[in-house]
Amino acid sequence: MTSPNESRNFIVADDDDGIRLDRWFKRHLADVSFNQVSRWARTGQIRIDGKRASPGDRIESGQSIRVPPAEAKDEEELRPRRAAIVLTDDEAELVQSMKIDHGRDWFLLNKPPGLATQGGTKTSQHLDRLLGGLAGENEQRPKLVHRLDKDTSGVLLVARSARAAAHFSKSFSGRTARKVYWAIITGVPSLDQGLIDAPLAKQPGSGGEKMHVDEKDGQTAKTRYRMIDRVGNRAAWVELQPLTGRTHQLRAHMAAIGHPIVGDAKYGGAEAFLTGGVSRKMHLHARRLRIDGPDGVVIDGTAELPVHFAETLKMLGFDPLAGDALPLDTFDYKTDPEVKARREAAAAKSRRRERKGERRGRGERGDDKKATGKPSGKPAGKATGKPTRKPAGKPPSRAERSSGKPPARPVRSAPRKPGGKPATRK
């Protein structure tokens, strides 16, 4: 058993490969504050494979981390922490029923409509709260890597480890993940397929809860759509592929072209509803997700339709198999210049974060050097000891300053003749 006064040693696990040292402390030694980690680093008490480390350093699997003995906690740290979430039997059964498929690093879930992905104001029941019901004994709690709107149903990916979550997050930010949505819209677009290119921004006065098209200040937003089937000019069943990931992008884009999604009162108003007994719930469903896993194996899953969506298809006379009959690719994501540019931008952002952590670490090591008493900058003059600038002359006296008159210019001595006597001026 380790003595309370002895240093502690830990081995970096595979799931922690590549993360920052301060993140490692947050995961495994949550009772140690960031200030305490920084203090230990400044004084050289934290070692990685025997070398001094800073909070911003990246760690690798298999490395040894030496940590000082735990310090006595003050009154603030001794306050009770929030208890772990304990699910009821019904909640555990609910999240288990959402599973579509799973692998070593991931779960694919079918999120039902009406369940928020994350908590917020007046939202106590949400998917993120239920994820603990997927973890087995001695397993980490799964982590969200993307979201769906509360009233949007369909396939949603969660990671089983922090390392997998980082991998999937890069795929989503780099737009290499393929997402296919199904929607029932009011009216019928003039073209069977097309690209909606309309920048989106938060609508003023909505508290950020609603988006609108803003050509001047909006962020780039692009959506591809293909018509699967139609009912005269009354309604259409469309496939949507978001090429960007803006808030409410699909809903705002379809409303912007005059064909709001059925049930979407926020963006379509009264025009978003169909008569004839069609459900008033949102008809937007994340049907399919394809993404590369951390092990290089392609994850490709589909989510069954919720009851109200399936009933609407039947009521309108649509064949449920028609949507899946469409080929997935309408263009090559691997060579498309837009996707390539976004992938490169995501990689550059990741590199900037790493450099920022390195600079922070160098700054902390620089503080250590200053503490030794060594000068941190260059000397003011040369090694000869000569001043870098010549004196401008004798400063003005107090009487001269109080008189308001300009100070007298310094008198230059006359040059001397070779004989040693001063030369006279003519």
Rounded Cα distance, 371 and 396, in Å:
40
In the numeric block, the tokens 């603990």 are attached to 132
Q: Which residues of 140-258 form beta strands (DSSP E)?
A: 143-144, 153-159, 178-186, 193-197, 200-202, 211-213, 222-231, 235-242
Closest CA to 172 of 242, 98, 99: 242
Rounded Cα distance, 53 and 66, in Å:
10
Q: What six digits make up the tokens of 412? A: 């230059």
CA 13 to chain centre: 23
Q: Which helix (H) or strand (E) holds 257?
A: none
**Catalytic residues, which ones?**
149
152 — alpha (psi -120 to 50), left (phi > 0) or beta? beta
CA 368 to chain centre: 32
Helix/strand/coil for 226: strand
Rounded Cα distance, 9 and 152, in Å:
47
In the numeric block, the tokens 């993404």 are attached to 291
Helix/strand/coil for 3: coil
CA 205 to chain centre: 26
Closest CA to 202 of 164, 248, 244, 235: 248
Rounded Cα distance, 289 and 298, in Å:
10
Rounded Cα distance, 132 and 141, in Å:
5
